[in-house]
């Protein structure tokens, strides 16, 4: 299955409400009746598109000049086109550092999917022929480095002939995460890696003691590479929908986020929160979306495929 099909198929849970509303109503009346309008409103809200976006999308859908008799396909196509315009601001190209390794710092609350994302991205970059250093900078949990080591091994197994993956971890228990990040960048420079991925410990944004660790990680890697970390991504649990939005502001305050990764969308009924996200002033780009726990279950965000998935359409 191609990546865009994985996005559309993976959004099935979030698209359920729309699919049901459309099917039931259009079987009775082949047009956008007030009942269908209300059912779509409920479905978009249930998918966590948010009140402001939902209340803009539906009048636009009504004004779009829908054909009569209205078919399921035509309605979903129009809805997908509208949703895509709302999601488009989130789709921005990923820029690689021109000189030396590109350093990616992954941050987020506990269990959002940081380590899984670090592993999957390492695999993708290595499969594309890049040298990748993965830093196990989560020094809070003893098992964290082991978990990342398993991913690093899997990633190394799927590397192309030019690609490679190396893990840098703490040399002793309770070591400083900034020290691990520093050694990772040092190794990347020495071995001419193209990417460094720094996995960090989960932390709640209201724990200022833990949050202070991230700026420290940034400061030490900047001693080796002044522009690093080039990317500072917040990993969001897609199952939580709009409830994750306050985290964006909190982490941004600490480390100046450059983008987002949204995980667990395969298990989420609230993937529509990206529509709400896209309507915020100056939204951060969503660089990757995750749809499962296998190596190839992550890929770039695509607004059109995402919109089609939310509308219950295939790629």
Ligand X SMILES: Nc1nc2c(ncn2[C@@H]2O[C@H](COP(=O)(O)OP(=O)(O)OP(=O)(O)O)[C@@H](O)[C@H]2O)c(=O)[nH]1
Which residues of the shown chain bind ligand X in the complex (CB under 6 A)? 108, 110-116, 138, 144, 202, 263-264, 266-267, 290-293, 297
Q: Closest distance between ligand X and the C-beta of residue 276, in Å?
A: 20
Q: Per rule CB under 5 A, is residue 115 in the interface with Mg ion?
A: yes
Q: Does 200 bind Mg ion (CB under 5 A)?
A: no
Which of 201-239 are b and which e, b meaning 16 or more Cβ less than 10 Å from the residue's Cβ? bbbebeeeeebebbeebbebbeebbeebbbbbbbbbbbb
| Span from 83-91, 93-101, 109-117, 168-176 in contact with Mg ion (CB under 5 A) | 109-117
State which residue, 10 or 163, has the beta carbon closest to ligand X.
Answer: 10
> CB 14 → ligand X: shortest distance, Å?
13
Q: Smallest distance from the beta carbon of 115 to Mg ion, in angstroms?
A: 3
CB of 114 to Mg ion, least distance (A): 5
Span from 21-29, 114-122, 282-290, 307-315 in contact with Mg ion (CB under 5 A): 114-122
Indicate which of Mg ion, ligand X, none lies near residue 302 (CB less than 5 to 8 Å, by partner kind).
none
Residues 259-278 that bind Mg ion (CB under 5 A): none
Residue 154 C-beta: closest distance to ligand X, Å: 13
Q: Measuring CA to CA, which residue among 155, 186, 202 is closest to residue 298? A: 155
Q: How far is the CB of 265 from Mg ion (least distance, A)?
A: 18
Q: Would you say 186 or 293 has its CB closer to ligand X?
A: 293
**Which residue has its beta carbon closest to ligand X?**
202
Q: Per the omega criterion (within 30 degrees of 0), is the bond before 229 cis?
A: yes
Contact of residue 187 among ligand X, Mg ion, none (CB under 5-8 Å per partner type): none
> Which of 174, 281 has the CB closer to Mg ion?
174
Query: Nearer to ligand X by C-beta: 42 or 210?
Result: 210
- HSE-CB at 111 with a 13 A cutoff on CA atoms is 2
Part in contact with Mg ion (CB under 5 A); list of ranges 75-83, 97-105, 115-123, 162-170? 115-123
Task: Name the CA dihedral angle for 302, 303, 306, 310, rounded to a multiple of 10 degrees.
Answer: 180
Please give the residue ranges that form the binding site for Mg ion (CB under 5 A): 114-115
């Amino acid at each position: 299955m191609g990546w865009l099909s994985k996005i559309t198929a993976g959004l099935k849970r979030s698209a359920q409400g729309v699919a049901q509303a459309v099917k039931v109503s259009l079987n009775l009346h082949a047009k956008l009746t007030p009942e269908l309008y209300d059912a779509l409103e409920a479905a978009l809200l249930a998918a966590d598109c948010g009140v402001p976006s939902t209340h803009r999308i539906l009048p636009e859908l009504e004004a779009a000049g829908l054909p009569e008799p209205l078919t399921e396909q035509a309605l979903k196509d129009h809805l997908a086109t509208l949703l895509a315009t709302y999601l488009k601001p989130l789709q921005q190209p990923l820029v690689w550092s021109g000189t030396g390794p590109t350093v990616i710092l992954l941050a987020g609350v506990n269990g959002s999917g940081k380590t899984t994302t670090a592993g999957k991205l390492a695999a993708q970059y290595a499969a594309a022929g890049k040298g990748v250093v993965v830093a196990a900078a989560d020094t809070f949990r003893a098992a964290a480095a082991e978990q990342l080591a398993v991913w690093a091994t899997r990633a190394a197994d799927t590397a192309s002939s030019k690609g490679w993956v190396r893990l840098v971890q703490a040399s002793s228990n309770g070591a400083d995460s900034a020290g691990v990040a520093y050694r990772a960048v040092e190794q990347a420079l020495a071995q001419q890696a193209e990417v460094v991925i720094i996995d960090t410990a989960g932390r709640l944004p209201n724990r200022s003691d833990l949050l202070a660790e991230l700026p420290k990680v940034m400061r030490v890697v900047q001693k080796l590479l002044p522009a690093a970390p080039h990317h500072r991504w917040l990993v969001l649990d897609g199952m939580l929908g709009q409830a994750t939005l306050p985290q964006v502001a909190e982490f941004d305050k600490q480390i100046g986020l450059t983008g987002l990764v949204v995980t667990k969308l395969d298990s989420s009924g609230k993937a529509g929160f990206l529509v709400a996200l896209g309507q915020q002033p100056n939204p951060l780009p969503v660089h990757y979306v995750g749809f499962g726990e296998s190596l190839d279950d992550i890929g770039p965000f695509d607004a059109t495929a995402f919109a089609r998935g939310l509308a219950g359409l295939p790629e």
